Amino acid sequence: MRQHKRILFASCSILTFASIYVAITPALAGAPSNEQLYQMILDLQRNQKQMARKLEAAYAETAQVKEELATLKGSVAQSREMAALSSVERRMYLSNPQSDTRAVAAPNVRVGFGAGTNGHDPYAFTDGSVALPLGEKYGFQVDAIGGVTPNSNFTGAAAHLFRRDPKVGALGLYGSYLHGGGGYDDGGVLENGYVEGKLGVEGQYYLGRVTLEGLAGIEWNSLEEDVSPFAEGRVGYYPTDNFKVNGGLRHRDAFGGRTQLVGGAEYLTEFGSGIATSIYSDFSFDLTNSDVSSSGDFSAMAGLRFHFGTNGDRSAPKTVFC
C-alpha cells in the first residue's frame, strides 16, 4: 500500500511539473531578449519625451487661450463702459473721448457762417476757431468773428485756456474783444465805433445726457467806460448723440442791466476722416427793460459750421461776443 502511495504521489508530482512546464514553456519561448527590452525602454523614453513636448505645447496654448479670453473679457467690459458713457462722450464736438482722456485729442479747426437779427437790425457773419492740445489735460482755443449790419460792421476775437476731463467736465479762463464800426449814441453824443472786452471763468459739467454750462466775469465797454459783471448759464440736453438743445439765462449789468432768456439747438453730421458739419441756431428773449432793449425784444440767429480734425471737439467752449 505504501509503495502504491509513493508511486501515486510521484505520478502526481510528475504530472504537476509537466503541466507547469507545458504552461510556462510558451511564455518562456516568447519572452523578449535583453536587446529587445533595451529597445523597448528607449521607445518608451522617446514616447515620454514626445508626450512631454505635447503637454508643454498644450500648456502654452491653454495660457494663450486664457490670455485671449482675458483680453476679450476686458474688451467686452470696456465696450459696456463705452456704451454706458456714450451719452456723455459720443456727442457733438467729440474728440473720441470714450477711450481718450485728453482735453483735446488733436488740433482741430472750425469755420462757419450765419445770419440773424439783433432785436431790430439784421446782420450776417462768418466765424472760425482753432483748438490745440496743451499736454494731456489742458487745451487752448482761439475764436474769431466778422460780420456786417445795414449800417456798420463788427469784428471780434476770443481766447480760452481750459482743463478738461471728458468724463467729468471742463473749467477754464475766458477773454474776448469786440469792435463795432459806425456811429453809436452815447447819451446824446455820437461815438464813432464801439469797443467791448470781457474776462471771465467758464465751465462745463457732464451728467449723462445733460451738460451744465456756465460763464461769468467782468466786462468793459467804450460807451459807459465802466467795469460791470456779466453771467450766463445754460442746461444742455442731447436727445441723440449728435443733436443738442439748450436753454438758460443771460444777465449783464451794463447799459442799465439786461436779463435774457436764451436757448439754442445744434445738429451734427459726421462724414468720416475727421470731417463733420453742423447746423445750429440760437435765440434770446429780453425779460427786462434796459438802455439798449425793451422787455419782449427777440433776437435770433442761425448758421452752418464745418469741423476739421476730430469731428468737432465737444469740449470747445462757447464764445459769448455780445
Cβ-based burial of 268 (10 A; exposed 0-12, middle 13-18, buried ≥19): buried
What CA–CA distance (Å, rounded) separates 111 from 218?
28
Cell numbers given for 257: 442791466
In the chain, what are the domain boundaries?
A: 108-308
65 Ramachandran zone, left/alpha/beta (phi>0; psi -120 to 50):
alpha
Please report the pLDDT score of residue 35 as a whole number. Answer: 76
Q: Model confidence at 319, in pLDDT bands (50, 70, 90)?
A: very low
β-bridge partners, 213:
204, 234
β-bridge partners, 201:
173, 216
Please report the pLDDT score of residue 186 as a whole number. Answer: 63
Average pLDDT of the chain? 79
Q: Alpha-carbon torsion 53, 55, 57, 63, what sign?
A: negative
Please report the pLDDT score of residue 100 as a whole number. Answer: 67
Instruction: Give the containing element (helix H, strand E) for 25.
Output: helix 2-30
Give per-residue pLDDT as tens, 70-103.
665 555 454 444 444 433 333 343 444 455 678 8
Q: Model confidence at 191, in pLDDT bands (50, 70, 90)?
A: confident
CATH numeric code, 108-308: 2.40.128.130
Give per-residue pLDDT as tens, 10-44.
444 444 444 444 444 444 445 667 777 777 777 77
Q: Which of 88-92, 216-220, 241-245 has the highest mean pLDDT?
A: 216-220
- Lowest mean per-residue pLDDT among 54-63, 137-146, 223-232: 54-63
Q: What percent of the chain has pLDDT over 70?
A: 74
Greater confidence (176 vs 38) lies with 176
List the one residue out of 203, 211, 114, 124 whose CA is nearest residue 162.
203
C-alpha pair distances (Å), 260 with each of 2, 73, 162, 293, 294? 141, 51, 26, 10, 11
Greater confidence (196 vs 182) lies with 196
What CA–CA distance (Å, rounded) separates 289 from 299?
15
Give per-residue pLDDT as tens, 294-304.
888 999 999 99
Q: Using the predicted structure, report yes or no on whether residue 66 has a pLDDT greater than 60.
A: yes
Q: pTM to 2 decimals?
A: 0.67
